Every structure is written in C-alpha cells, then in structure tokens.
Amino acid sequence: MVAQKAGTAAAHHTKKYKNFKVDPRHKPQMVRFTGYEAGTIVVDPRNHFLYLVVSPFRARRYGVGVGKAGLRFKGVASIERKAKWPSWRPTDNMIRREPRKYARYAKGVPGGPNNPLGARALYLYRGGRDTYYRIHGTTQPDTIGRSVSNGCIRMVNDHVIDLYERVPLGTKVVVI
C-alpha cells in the first residue's frame, strides 16, 4: 500500500526526469545489516546508502545523494519534524557561499513538485535544536549515488515517501 501511495504522490515531480530509471542498487531492498537497534536509520555517505534497521540482522536499504566534501552532517540526531511537500529556504551559509545561485530564494520556495526538498522532508535535530540538515526528496533523481548536495541526504521522491510512512517522530539517525 505504501508503494502505491508513493507512486501517485510523487508522480507530479519535474517532467525533465519523466523517463529517469533508478539504478537497481539504489532501489529500496532488504539487505543483511547488523550493529544497530531496530528502528534506527543509519546513513553511509561514502557508499551512498541509507538503512532503516528492521531487525538485528536486516535493514531496508535506499540509495541516497549526500553532501559535497566539507558540507556533510556526521553524528547522531533524531527526527523531530516531518513534512509533506515542505517549503524550502536556503540557509544563510548557502546564500553567503553561492549568492548568485541562492540569493533569489532567500524568501523561500513554497512546497510542491518543483521544490528542492521534494515530496517529503524529515528534519534532523540534535539536543533539541534543528541542525538544518534533512532527509528529503529531490527534483534531481539523477543525483542519487553522488556527493553533490549542500549537506542534506537526498532520496528519490517515491523512496522518501516510503521512508516517511515507516518512521515515527523521535527516530534515531546515525550518519557514519
């Protein structure tokens, strides 16, 4: 049922990628995975995978795009907010780093199919404070499996919708 909902909700994303095919290794799949408690999300940026641990020996694996060198989140956080078709605003650091690219979005971009956060966003907090890092969908699915973002963890819209439905607020996220 989740996959069916995901397909219809994210079908509205940018037409540019209408015929885009996800690399089979980046599609959600069950894999052998140990070392973390069930319910934990583990992100392996070096290999471009996110794991949702479902048992002591199994996890649901998704392909992800991650932050460029020097812009990655690392450590432990928790999901303290979730949003469907979230609005987006570049951080002040993004605007300072690349004003020609981001200054025009300083007032924000409303949620919807052309929003950089895609169909869903899971907001990472540490110590009760927003880290400004997200696990979110993307309007650029060809970036999955690459290190290209400003630090967030990108997923294909259908995949982030699937993950969003599977995890509650308070879920522990470990970025190794």
Choose, from 13, 48, 152, 159, the residue flagged as catalytic: 152
Measured at the CA of 23, the angle between CA 38 and CA 36, to 5 degrees, comes to 15
Q: For residues 51 and 70, what is the distance between their CA atoms, to the nearest angstrom?
A: 22
Phi, psi of 124, deg, nearest 5: -90, 130
Is there a catalytic annotation at residue 12? Answer: no
Choose, from 13, 26, 48, 136, the residue flagged as catalytic: 136
Please name the residue that has the structure tokens 């879920």.
Answer: 171
How far does CA 117 lie from the centroid of its chain? 8
Is there a catalytic annotation at residue 152? Answer: yes
Neighbours of 146 (CB within 10 A): 15
E-assigned strand segments in 56-128: 58-63, 66-67, 75-84, 120-126
How far does CA 57 lie from the centroid of its chain? 23
The catalytic residue positions are: 136, 152
